[in-house]
Amino acid sequence: MSVPFWSQTATITFDEFRDNIRRRVLAAIDAASQDTCGHVDAHGWADADLPGLFEAIDRHAGKLATKINDGSLPGSHRVRITM
C-alpha cells in the first residue's frame, strides 16, 4: 500500500526557505507600489534598501522556521527545515 504524498515529510534547507520568503516579500512590496502608483516601473525597494529588508526578513524567517520545526503551525508536520 502506498503512502499518500501529503503524509510524507519534505525537507528543505533554511537557505531555500529564507530565499523563497525574500523573493515573495520583495515581489509583494513591488506589487503594492505598482498598484498604488498605477505604473509597472514603480518599484517599492532599491538595492540600497536590501540590507535592512533582508535583516528583518531573515530574522522573521528564523522564527517561522522554528515554529514549523516544532510543529506549532498547521500543516507543519509536512515539512522539516534543516538549519
Across all residues in the chain, what is the average pLDDT? 91
For the chain, percent helix, then strand, then coil, each to nearest 5?
A: 65, 10, 25
pLDDT at 62 over 90: yes
The pLDDT, as a whole number, for residue 83 is 85
The pLDDT, as a whole number, for residue 61 is 98
- pTM summary value: 0.84
**Which of these, 62, 75, 77, 67, lies nearest to 14 by C-alpha position?**
62
